[in-house]
Chain A
Amino acid sequence: MDRRHFIGNSAAALGLLAGFSGQARANLQKAEILVIGGGYGGATAAKYLRLFSNNTAKVTLIEPNASFVSCPLSNLVVGGSRTLSEITTPYDNLSKRHGVKIIQDSVASIDTDKKTVKLASGKTLRYDKAVVSPGVTLMMNSIEGLAQANKAGVTLQAWKAGPETVALHKQLASMRDGGTFAISIPEAPYRCPPGPYERACQVANYLKQNKPKSKVLILDANQDVTSKGALFKKVWAEQYAGMIEYLPKYNVTAVDAKTKTVKFEVQDDIKADVLNLLPAMSAGEIAVKTGLANANGRWVNVNFLNFESTAQKDIHVLGDSIQIAPAMPKSGHMANQHAKVAAAAIVAELSGWEINPAPVLTNTCYSFVNEKEVVHVASVHQYNAAEKTFKTVPGSGGLSPAPSTLEGVYAWGWAHNIWADSLG
């Protein structure tokens, strides 16, 4: 039993507790809280730090982009059935409605000794608590020739939604009928496990309607489809027969931009007209640079009760950058859920309260198999105190039985609500 527990259980000490809380609440109001990165994790953290502190905490969000573009649903933009503007949300409600101070800039470095953050513009900010939610870094050097091919505009990743998403659709639109679109998938873990398979569906859906002699190759470094496998395979067989070819254990090692040839660890070279090569991924650059990525130098170990980095005190890391718990996907929904646990824990800590010993996370993930039908995977993760990690609850969670248009409606419902929950 710790001190606060003891005091809390003693009626005689209630006055003391109130006095202590008053002091601590002043700490909450005085603390400088910097949130680095305004994706599903960071934006949600900024908003909920304000909500959970009853708008008393000082929260500053540092984000380089003027507006938020959602990665979930961006495959529909690649496939051409939706536009980028439909998946874009402005940041200004975070300041207007919730009093978050927004600085449009990126973070150049974090000095963990001085507890300061240096911005790309040169300005230095002090923090008492930093929330770092920088997404993933695409490790372009993990595929020989990829960085050059990307620079030349020959291959695009479009794994961070934005201009590349639109550019990838343009490549598809200018491909000849009878051409080949190839997408490669790195070994898990990577951002959005079902994302590449959904993209293959969206590309095939476009080609089926516009260039029916074309092919889609899925070059997967993994042993098998990493998410919703049976559902995707059924869709490929039933809706895209003869168009989508799935090749497991195809680990891309190099690309030749001039000839659009892909080389593998084991198999013979493959040529394609449009190459969408997804390299291995790691925690966002600022997390790696700050020495937070203490899991194989790639991901950030955190204390799952408050998402504090195990490498640095007072730095809380969210979303795709963390070393995941068992069966925890790197998804936008999950990042939003991490953010709420971290925000509540930070508010509790700065208020002098014990942090919640039993946090809960959920995940839901919808994949569009054409422009209307959707399949989902869902899970609930309860904190396990004995093992100090999150574990899925036996008997909970699961998949769709089959693609449906009803879930297509819910998928958009999910999107509108999570954008409002994170940014509205």
Chain B
Amino acid sequence: MRAKYLKPAILATIYIGLSQWSTFALAQNADASNLYKRGLAATCANCHGTDGKGVVDGGMPLINGLTSEQMLTQLKAFKSGAREGTIMPQLAKGYSDEQLEIIANQLGKK
């Protein structure tokens, strides 16, 4: 199941013609596209650590034990309101579904 999030062909299908980002992604080489994804995931790092590796026993819930699929499920639950929380329901609503998917793919357990 997890592999689904990682298949470039499927990702490309999702992106084609859908958004500003899709045009951008297709025009770039793999390194540039990777940089974009790292940059997006880095918006989470202030609270959850660089590359999702949070400070152990720092007080913030750790996310790096989650697979990409588990992470995406949680992010979508925060976004829809199905899962309650303090800040995360408010932040998740600020990202598009595509952005949440990229973040989950970047930060999920490899």
- Mutual binders A and B: yes
Which of A102-110, A162-170, A188-196, A340-348 faces chain B?
A: A340-348
Q: Residues of A within 8 Å of B, CB-based: how many?
A: 59
On whether the beta carbons of A414 and B91 are closer than 8 Å, the reply is: no
Give A residues with C-beta under 8 Å from B. 4-5, 8-9, 17-18, 21, 47-48, 51-52, 333, 336-337, 340-341, 344, 347-348, 351, 353-354, 356-362, 364, 376, 378-382, 385, 392-393, 395-398, 400, 404, 406-407, 409-414, 416-418, 420-421, 424
Residue of A nearest to B33 (CB): A353
On whether the beta carbons of A417 and B58 are closer than 8 Å, the reply is: yes
B10 contacts A by Cβ under 8 Å: no
27 A-B contacts, Cβ less than 8 Å apart? A4-B27, A9-B26, A51-B38, A51-B50, A52-B38, A333-B46, A337-B46, A341-B39, A353-B31, A356-B36, A358-B24, A359-B39, A362-B43, A378-B87, A378-B90, A378-B91, A393-B94, A397-B93, A398-B90, A407-B86, A409-B59, A410-B60, A412-B58, A413-B60, A414-B46, A417-B48, A420-B58
Contacts of A407 in B (CB 8 A): 86
Residue of B nearest to A40 (CB): B46
On whether the beta carbons of A410 and B29 are closer than 8 Å, the reply is: no
Q: How large is the interface on B (under 10, 10 to 19, 20 to 34, 35 or more residues)?
A: 35 or more
B35 contacts A by Cβ under 8 Å: yes
Q: How far is the CB of A70 from chain B (nearest CB, A)?
A: 13
Contacts of A400 in B (CB 8 A): 86
Contacts of B94 in A (CB 8 A): 360, 362, 379-382, 392-393, 396-397
On whether the beta carbons of A362 and B91 are closer than 8 Å, the reply is: yes
Q: Which B65-80 residues sit within 8 Å CB-CB of chain A?
A: none
Residue of A nearest to B42 (CB): A340
Contact of B86 among A5, A358, A393, A410 (CB under 8 A): A410
Q: Which B60-110 residues sit within 8 Å CB-CB of chain A?
A: 60-61, 86-87, 90-95, 99
Contacts of A347 in B (CB 8 A): 35
Q: Which 6 A-B pairs have the closest CB atoms?
A: A380-B94, A413-B60, A413-B59, A396-B94, A8-B27, A416-B58
Q: How far is the CB of A350 from chain B (nearest CB, A)?
A: 11
Instruction: Please report whether the interface of chain A is mostly helix, strand, loop or mixed according to DSSP.
Output: helix
Question: Whole-angstrom distance between the alpha carbons of A396 and B94 in the complex?
Answer: 5
Knowing A4-B27, A358-B21, A421-B45, say if A344 contacts B38 (CB, 8 Å). Answer: yes
Q: How far is the CB of A55 from chain B (nearest CB, A)?
A: 13
Q: Which B15-46 residues sit within 8 Å CB-CB of chain A?
A: 19-21, 23-24, 26-29, 31-32, 35-36, 38-40, 42-46
Residue of B nearest to A422 (CB): B46
B55 contacts A by Cβ under 8 Å: yes
On whether the beta carbons of B90 and A48 are closer than 8 Å, the reply is: no
On whether the beta carbons of B35 and A376 are closer than 8 Å, the reply is: no
Knowing A364-B87, A378-B87, A395-B93, say if A348 contacts B32 (CB, 8 Å). Answer: yes
Contacts of B91 in A (CB 8 A): 362, 364, 378, 380, 396-397
Residue of A nearest to B49 (CB): A417
Question: Whole-angstrom distance between the alpha carbons of A356 and B102 in the complex?
Answer: 14
Contacts of B36 in A (CB 8 A): 344, 356
Question: Whole-angstrom distance between the alpha carbons of A353 and B31 in the complex?
Answer: 9
Contacts of A392 in B (CB 8 A): 94
Contacts of A410 in B (CB 8 A): 59-60, 86-87
Question: Whole-angstrom distance between the alpha carbons of A81 and B103 in the complex?
Answer: 37
Residue of B nearest to A8 (CB): B27
On whether the beta carbons of A421 and B90 are closer than 8 Å, the reply is: no
Q: How far is the CB of B88 from chain A (nearest CB, A)?
A: 9
On whether the beta carbons of A420 and B24 are closer than 8 Å, the reply is: no
Q: How far is the CB of A208 from chain B (nearest CB, A)?
A: 25
Q: How far is the CB of B57 from chain A (nearest CB, A)?
A: 9
On whether the beta carbons of A416 and B86 are closer than 8 Å, the reply is: no
Q: How far is the CB of A128 from chain B (nearest CB, A)?
A: 19
On whether the beta carbons of A413 and B86 are closer than 8 Å, the reply is: no
Contacts of B27 in A (CB 8 A): 4-5, 8-9, 354
Contacts of B11 in A (CB 8 A): none
Contacts of A47 in B (CB 8 A): 50
Knowing A407-B86, A416-B60, say if A356 contacts B39 (CB, 8 Å). Answer: yes
Residue of A nearest to B24 (CB): A357
Contact of B60 among A353, A382, A398, A414 (CB under 8 A): A414
Knowing A48-B42, A353-B28, A380-B91, say if A418 contacts B47 (CB, 8 Å). Answer: yes
